[in-house]
Amino acid sequence: QGGAPTPPHGNPLPPPPPGSQIPGGPTGGPAFGAMPVTGPHTDEDTRALAPRWPGPEMPPGPGVPGGALADPLDGVPAPRPVPPQQAAPAPRPAPAADAKPAKPAKKGRNKLALAGGAIVALIGVAYGAGLLLNHSEVPKGTTVFDVDISGTREEAVAKLQTAFGNRANAPLQVTVGGKQAELKPEKAGLSLDSQTTVRNAAGSDYNPVTVIGSLFGQERPATPVIPVDEEKLQVALQELAGTSGSAVEGTIKFEPGKAVAVPGKAGTSLDVDASVEKVTEAYRAMVETGKAVPVELPVTEKAPTITQAELDRAMNEFAKPAMSGNVTVKAGDRSIPFGPAKSLPKILRMEAVDGKLVEKYDLEALKELYGSVFDGVLITRGNGEKTAVTPQDVAGVLGKALRGKTEAERTGVIETNPS
């Protein structure tokens, strides 16, 4: 009412000219703007007064083909179609505040891995080459006291004997209380065991360090086996103690034609127990270096253990009867005498053992004295084996003969067939 009607598309129509009639009615009528309105009206009146829009039911009107009213939007360009928008990519989640950005892989790691693989391969090749070249019984580079003994076992033993044989058999120089003396290794129970040394050093060595090292001249030190017969060493040191130091043990000396009692006196003497380790170390050093440097052995204060009463007993029971005349030793059809003037002083001596004087025999001197007298005489042993007469056999019958008084008692007989 009083305003321009609005078409369905929402743009207002221009108002009709004054005094014009709305076309399309059966009889026409007053203009839209001049239509009188009187009194109250209803919804039907509003619908009757509403303009009628062109449509198939409306009669043709002026201005457009077919009589339809012209569309006031004619000539207005249609809006361009909006192209469909592509779906926007989903936004990436924001990184956590404490998260660190991933570091790109370093190229150096690949190079390091390649270098490591090459080193491992090189070590493997070197290890294989070492095993191939080092197949002898005594591995290459094996040394004893810096002397190479590699090769077969026989070669290794020969190398040891050549390098150390003379050293191992040389007398060991010692000093006791300022007095010089010597110990013979064989008598003192000292030796270099070449066979056992080589046996321990023989065998394949699969240790990568030594196998690869052998290719570059690396040594494989082997421990020399130097056994010590402590019983023999103790006896040798006891003998040395009796002839060194300032202490004198009571004893009996055998001189041509007589026995002489020697009382003991207190003083310093060789410490036998403490000397065992010192002698062993000195012998090892002599074998290793070839230098016989005198070694000072420890001493201790010592009082004599042989009393005057023991001296008297030993003189009466053994020394005087032994030097009273000749004794004879027989074996088979052979015999040899030993007299107090020359022979007996060479082979007899007495040693202190637990406070007692006991006779001892110098077996080397005894063997030298009887020489070849008993050659060809065989003794049947307890196991049935027949062997030649030994110095121990001769000394065994001398003990009883030297205590005898008659000629028969002073004759010692070695039984060739004891059974």
Would you list the domain boundaries of the chain? 138-302, 308-414
> In tens digits, what is the pLDDT along the chain, a chain of 419 residues?
444 454 544 445 555 555 444 444 444 444 444 444 444 544 444 444 445 544 444 444 444 444 444 444 445 455 555 555 554 555 565 555 555 555 555 555 666 666 666 665 655 544 454 444 455 678 888 899 989 998 899 999 999 999 999 999 999 999 998 889 999 999 999 999 999 999 988 865 555 655 545 444 467 789 999 999 999 999 999 889 878 888 888 999 999 999 999 999 999 889 999 999 999 999 999 999 998 889 999 999 988 999 999 999 999 999 999 999 999 999 999 999 999 999 999 999 998 889 999 999 999 999 999 999 999 999 999 888 999 999 999 999 999 999 999 999 999 999 998 76
Angle between helix 363-370 and helix 391-401 axes, rounded to 10 deg: 100
The residue with tokens 């110990």 is 183
Q: Is 308-414 CATH 3.40.50?
A: no
Q: Using the CB atoms, write b or e for 167-204: b if 16+ within 10 Å.
A: bbebebbbebbeeebebebeebbbbbebeebbbebbee
The pLDDT assigned to 397 comes to 96
The owner of tokens 């067939």 is: 417
The model's pTM: 0.46
- Alpha carbon distance 380, 416 (integer Å): 6
